[in-house]
Structure 1
Amino acid sequence: MDSVSVRNWTVDTTDDTPLLGEGETHPAQRMPFTDWLAALPQAAAILTCDDSGIASINGNLPFRTAFGEPADRRQTNKPATEWRDRVIAFVQSGRASDSFEMRREGKLGPEYFLCTIGRLPDRQGMKAQYLFTAIDRTTERTIEKNLRRELLSDGLTALPNRTGFGEEIDDRIANSAWPDSAQFGIIAIDLSRFSRVNESLGPMAGDELLITVAKRLKSSLRQGDVLARIGGNDFAIFARLNNGLSDALHIVQRIRESMSMPIRLSDLQIRVDCAIGCALSINQDDDPDDVVRKAQAAVKIAKRTGKVEIYRNGVLKEAQRRFSIESRLRDALARGGLTLAYQPLIHLPTGEITGFEALARWEDEELGFVSPAEFIAVAEESGLITPLGRWAAYEAAQALSRWDAKFGQPLSVGVNVNLSPIQMARDDVASMFEEALRYSGVAGHRLTAEITESAIVADPDKARKLLVALKDLQMPIAMDDFGTGYSNLASLHSLPIDILKIDRSFVTSMLEDHDKQVIVRTILSLAESLNLKVTAEGIETQQLAHALQQMGCWQGQGYYFAKAMTEAEAYDYWRARWNFETI
């Protein structure tokens, strides 16, 4: 191809004549409204409005198809619909434009349109005209509805989830006929030992179990009741109660009957036990979410008692306080907000201090002083008992190390550290004590582990292995609260236990209660035959101290000698009594 130089192009000259104005530009290309509307993919029409109604001057095919309005035909003889009412309201408002969504029933179900209406420029001698458009949003709304259904329902059981449960309750309360005396109740159901099914048979079996349970629970419902899965193995039922608690207990009975037969999973038959808690509204204006929380608080108690529990006033406040304690305790453990107090252990024959029992104490900025019985129970329930127990062991060993440094040589005292059964089950306790002793440089015989009978009963083999590991560290073992649990002679004989601690419930009123005195004598006799030492808790008077001394009790602790004290006070107390003191 030959190249052409632009220098050889001819250039036409221009004049100064202006282009035609807006009204005269391309006059031959003007198109009627009908052609413009036909080019739009959505329904569109030019409307007029007067006292006789709405008329469509021009409307495209989507408009005529969707709204059934033939072009150039007045609709005064047709019943008014929502969109006409909205157009009339817009015309009367004087606004330049407006938009709204319209829903109507179609042949295949609900149809949704996003409608817009705007004023066209006024033309001299003509009625005011309005451009109306309607975009079909039925597909989008269907997708949104399906997504919302997925968000509000449980994918496994197809039941409402926690959010969907709340919406179902609101709908039932708002749109159902309620007698004046009627109230509603929430029945919360927790599947006991469900985690064991997952652990032993796998998650597929757990899912199959949940589906079967959901079907059985649904079969126990009355018409109008709502069943939901509000947690992993938690279900809840909303029920209208015409007869108050009587109706709720009737539903509970039906639930128990439906769950009485074993469930077959593969080749196994599994019996599912349920913890059931109920909460009743005072009237229909009660917040459903609040009633659900009350039912869940009741079911927590039912898990402990094994009975159907009805929510009592104050239970929810207790649950809220436990939650607050858990949150604050977690923070206190992270920033060192707890302390150890030390209660002396006294050798009854001589009055010498043989050691101290370390007791956790907590003074919180917001909660004030929190009882150990309260925060330790919360720690065990929440799993915080493991870091709490580790902190106590390390701190007790460090306290011994600091006392030794202050005195210039190792003291002739030790410290007892309590072990929770839950910590024994979840933590590597032997490793914890080994680290505590190694970090502090304290000999093992000066740190005594106090365990409870329940810890041994829960898993005897694991408890035996742990105690043997602690004995390898030269640590003494004390069985705390002896006499209140389920120990037998065989376990005492086979376990490497050194000390029995008689529970204070037997000691404190021993002089006034002959039966308790007999129990104390029996424990002392048993300990002597097994070559075990005995510590008596709860010694609060000199008479009790002398009586136990005469019975041959080795060691005691209680308010008669001293209350629990700080680390510095405990050291000073030991120094003051160091050179032998009789009771």
Structure 2
Amino acid sequence: MAYMKPVQFETPIVFWHSIDDAEPALPRAVRVYLCEDGKSLAESWMESEGVIVLHASTYSERLAQILEYTTQALPEAPLVVILNFPDMRMERLLELGAQEVVTNPAELIPAIRTAATRKARECSLRSNRYLDPLTGLPNRYLFQDRLEHSLEAHKRSKQPMGLVILDLNHFHRLSESFSHAAGDAVLAELGERLRSVTRKSDTLARIGGNTFALIAENLRQTRNLIQVCEKISAQLDVPVTFQGEKIKLSGSIGAALAGEADHDAGNLILHAEQVLSGAKQIGQNSYVIYSAHSAEDRIRGGLEKAIYHALDNRQISMEYQPQMSMDGERIYGVEALMRWNHPVFGHVPPEQFIPVLETTGLIEKFGMWALESACQQFRQWLDDGLMPEDARVSVNLTSRQFFQPDLADQILGILDEVGLAGKYLTLEITEAMIMEGNNRTADTLARLRFENIAIAIDDFGTGYSSFASLRTLPIDYLKIDRDFIKSVGVDSAGDAIAGSMIHLAHSLKLKVIAEGVEQESTQSRLVGLGCDECQGYLFSKPLAAERVPEFVARCA
């Protein structure tokens, strides 16, 4: 996290939050943005830095809690407290991090200016001691302080919080092959890349010669730590150019969740470093996330060891679930699904081995293998006349694949290699990927669309899609998650939710596929709601490749 720049006060910006229903007496000389709660206050400040003003009738524990939360979440923000009535405990507000506390509205504007000047000076003084001079990032001392503060906040909020450590591999060879200046250029460039994919609320630091660390706070769910690791890993895929030479990067990533290290900074760092060693053995810019050694985790550990050789030993295969017209008489395509049949563990469910692939960093390799296998199989069916010419094969993309800078090149390369036209392929991505995407991923989707590849949003309704994204991005299908579909035809609420999703999709000119259709009553109600396609056990379970032609023949 970079320190704030000095705030320019020709036209001050104030983020104002009134507590305990106190009527705000807003100053006219500044631009004021009202914020409903502490969270929106923090989010607003991160979008446009200014001065935070907390307003209350008088001192209260609620005011103290919000102040403490704000100063910990935004340690670089100037903060002023204004009270309607003085209180003997006002000094505690200064101890909790406020730069100024006033009770007279006439004193507010001078207090805002003083708070900003004081905070800017404080940041400047701290930066000389606590910032890495090469990258401008916090150094190990500031990182340790931030980590301890974050763990204290995590104890109270119970929000998932993680630590990620990145080591550049064989960094000493870089200086030997090029120069120390080249090494510095790589570190500075990587620091900028990492800064561009991390949130302002997180702390990114350089804690060693070739080591970076990230404190990821307030994760929505523990799974988000995987996405953080994938974003960091993706920054290593693009070489750094130095004096006309392209320098390839290689790194390893270890991560741990605070809850699994008993909120202790030392344990959290130790666990992240332990799995960092495992990531180095895997290579290929991999990441590994620490898990405690419960009985379930020991089973998981066995799966981790076994899955490294699963592809080579031909234990991984593909199955295909038909996607049908609403009357069940016509096949529109198939969804390709990865399966693992281990000689000891037997058939390992995807919900068990897919997370293992993600935490071991193998998901990218397996994901591309699945895409190539599905395209080869579908091309074979088309050549043999065993699949309708207007049918498509749907393949799921992982988050790690989606954020690769050369994703489009890889997909188009596979299609070219197997001889399958883009019009036969649909790529399924999740809502979370859409929300975390950027201009580059939008360009990737546009390029894939140009090649007639369709895009589907999988498990729609389980995430936080922006309607603006759905409207502007090149998307063709919404797949309603089975958790919503199972209530359709059962209760009116389920019908209403599914109906609203279908109406939304159609208003955006998107087709809708219902997942997990198992009952005829569900199918019938979905027809009435205007759903376009469906898949589920009512029509067929996922089939081995050799059984698909027989199913297609029955639909002809």
Q: TM-score scaled by structure 2?
A: 0.51
1:43-72 deviation line (CA, Å, top 9, x unaligned):
xxxxxxxxxxxxxxxxxxxxxxxxxxxxxx
How does 1:180-579 map onto structure 2 within 5 Å? 209-213=139-143, 275-277=257-259, 296=271, 315-349=293-327, 351-407=329-385, 411-426=389-404, 428-578=406-556
What is the SS of the residue equivalent to 2:453?
Answer: coil
Q: Which amino acid aligns with 2:295?
A: K
Farther off after superposition, 464-473 or 554-563: 464-473
Task: Say if 1:386 and 1:426, in contact at 8 Å, map to a contact too.
Answer: no
Q: 1:215 to 1:573 in 2, by over 3 A?
A: closer
Query: What CA distance in whole angstroms lies between the structure 2 residues aligned with 1:264 and 1:462?
Result: 25
Task: Say if 2:146 and 2:203, in contact at 8 Å, map to a contact too.
Answer: no
What is the SS of the residue equivalent to 1:361?
Answer: strand
How does 1:115-194 map onto structure 2 within 5 Å? none
Q: 1:218 to 1:447 in 2, by over 3 A?
A: closer
Query: What CA distance in whole angstroms lies between the structure 2 residues aligned with 1:479 and 1:506?
Result: 15
Q: 1:317 to 1:493 in 2, by over 3 A?
A: same
Farther off after superposition, 476-485 or 365-374: 365-374
Task: Say if 2:165 and 2:214, in contact at 8 Å, map to a contact too.
Answer: no
Task: Say if 2:143 and 2:203, in contact at 8 Å, map to a contact too.
Answer: no
> How far 1:383 moved relative to its partner?
1.6
Query: What CA distance in whole angstroms lies between the structure 2 residues aligned with 1:383 and 1:403?
Result: 32
Structure 1: state its 5+ residue gaps: 1-200, 220-229, 235-259, 281-291, 301-310, 579-583
Task: Say if 2:323 and 2:335, in contact at 8 Å, map to a contact too.
Answer: yes
**Residue correspondences, number:** 319
Q: 1:525 to 1:335 in 2, by over 3 A?
A: same
1:104-133 deviation line (CA, Å, top 9, x unaligned):
xxxxxxxxxxxxxxxxxxxxxxxxxxxxxx
1:132-189 deviation line (CA, Å, top 9, x unaligned):
xxxxxxxxxxxxxxxxxxxxxxxxxxxxxxxxxxxxxxxxxxxxxxxxxxxxxxxxxx
Q: Which amino acid aligns with 1:210?
A: R
Query: What CA distance in whole angstroms lies between the structure 2 residues aligned with 1:482 and 1:231?
Result: 29
> How far 1:428 moved relative to its partner?
2.6
> How far 1:323 moved relative to its partner?
3.0
Task: Say if 1:386 and 1:427, in contact at 8 Å, map to a contact too.
Answer: no
Query: What CA distance in whole angstroms lies between the structure 2 residues aligned with 1:486 and 1:565?
Result: 32
Task: Say if 2:318 and 2:338, in contact at 8 Å, map to a contact too.
Answer: yes
Q: 1:478 to 1:538 in 2, by over 3 A?
A: same
Q: 1:407 to 1:361 in 2, by over 3 A?
A: same
Task: Say if 1:277 and 1:296, in contact at 8 Å, map to a contact too.
Answer: no
Query: What CA distance in whole angstroms lies between the structure 2 residues aligned with 1:516 and 1:404?
Result: 38
Q: Could you say what the CA RMSD is over the residues aligned between the two structures, in angstroms?
A: 4.0
> How far 1:453 moved relative to its partner?
0.7
> How far 1:463 moved relative to its partner?
2.6
Task: Say if 2:485 and 2:516, in contact at 8 Å, map to a contact too.
Answer: yes
Q: 1:232 to 1:448 in 2, by over 3 A?
A: closer
Query: What CA distance in whole angstroms lies between the structure 2 residues aligned with 1:451 and 1:262?
Result: 29
> How far 1:318 moved relative to its partner?
3.0
> How far 1:272 moved relative to its partner?
5.5
What is the SS of the residue equivalent to 2:458?
Answer: strand
Find the structure with the greater CA-based Rg: 1
Task: Say if 1:342 and 1:359, in contact at 8 Å, map to a contact too.
Answer: yes
Q: 1:452 to 1:264 in 2, by over 3 A?
A: closer
Q: 1:327 to 1:411 in 2, by over 3 A?
A: farther
> Which residue in the other structure is 1:16 paired with?
none
Task: Say if 2:332 and 2:392, in contact at 8 Å, map to a contact too.
Answer: yes
> How far 1:387 moved relative to its partner?
0.8
Query: What CA distance in whole angstroms lies between the structure 1 residues aligned with 2:350 and 2:297?
Result: 17
Task: Say if 1:455 and 1:463, in contact at 8 Å, map to a contact too.
Answer: no
Query: What CA distance in whole angstroms lies between the structure 2 residues aligned with 1:456 and 1:342?
Result: 25
Q: TM-score scaled by structure 1?
A: 0.49
1:434-455 deviation line (CA, Å, top 9, x unaligned):
1222122222111100111100
Query: What CA distance in whole angstroms lies between the structure 1 residues aligned with 2:313 and 2:339?
Result: 15
Q: 1:514 to 1:330 in 2, by over 3 A?
A: same
Query: What CA distance in whole angstroms lies between the structure 1 residues aligned with 2:531 and 2:317?
Result: 31
Task: Say if 1:403 and 1:411, in contact at 8 Å, map to a contact too.
Answer: no
Task: Say if 1:209 and 1:263, in contact at 8 Å, map to a contact too.
Answer: no
1:18-50 deviation line (CA, Å, top 9, x unaligned):
xxxxxxxxxxxxxxxxxxxxxxxxxxxxxxxxx
Structure 2: state its 5+ residue gaps: 1-130, 150-162, 168-200, 208-212, 218-256, 276-289
What is the SS of the residue equivalent to 1:407?
Answer: coil
Identity %: 34
Q: Which amino acid aligns with 2:139?
A: L
Query: What CA distance in whole angstroms lies between the structure 1 residues aligned with 2:503 and 2:308?
Result: 44
Query: What CA distance in whole angstroms lies between the structure 1 residues aligned with 2:410 and 2:204?
Result: 42
What is the SS of the residue equivalent to 1:331?
Answer: coil
Task: Say if 1:210 and 1:233, in contact at 8 Å, map to a contact too.
Answer: no
1:259-302 deviation line (CA, Å, top 9, x unaligned):
x9999999xxx99668534679xxxxxxxxxxx89x949x99xx
What is the SS of the residue equivalent to 2:364?
Answer: helix
Query: What CA distance in whole angstroms lies between the structure 2 residues aligned with 1:322 and 1:354?
Result: 37
> How far 1:511 moved relative to its partner?
2.1
Q: 1:427 to 1:373 in 2, by over 3 A?
A: farther
Query: What CA distance in whole angstroms lies between the structure 1 residues aligned with 2:545 and 2:343?
Result: 21
Query: What CA distance in whole angstroms lies between the structure 2 residues aligned with 1:500 and 1:405?
Result: 29
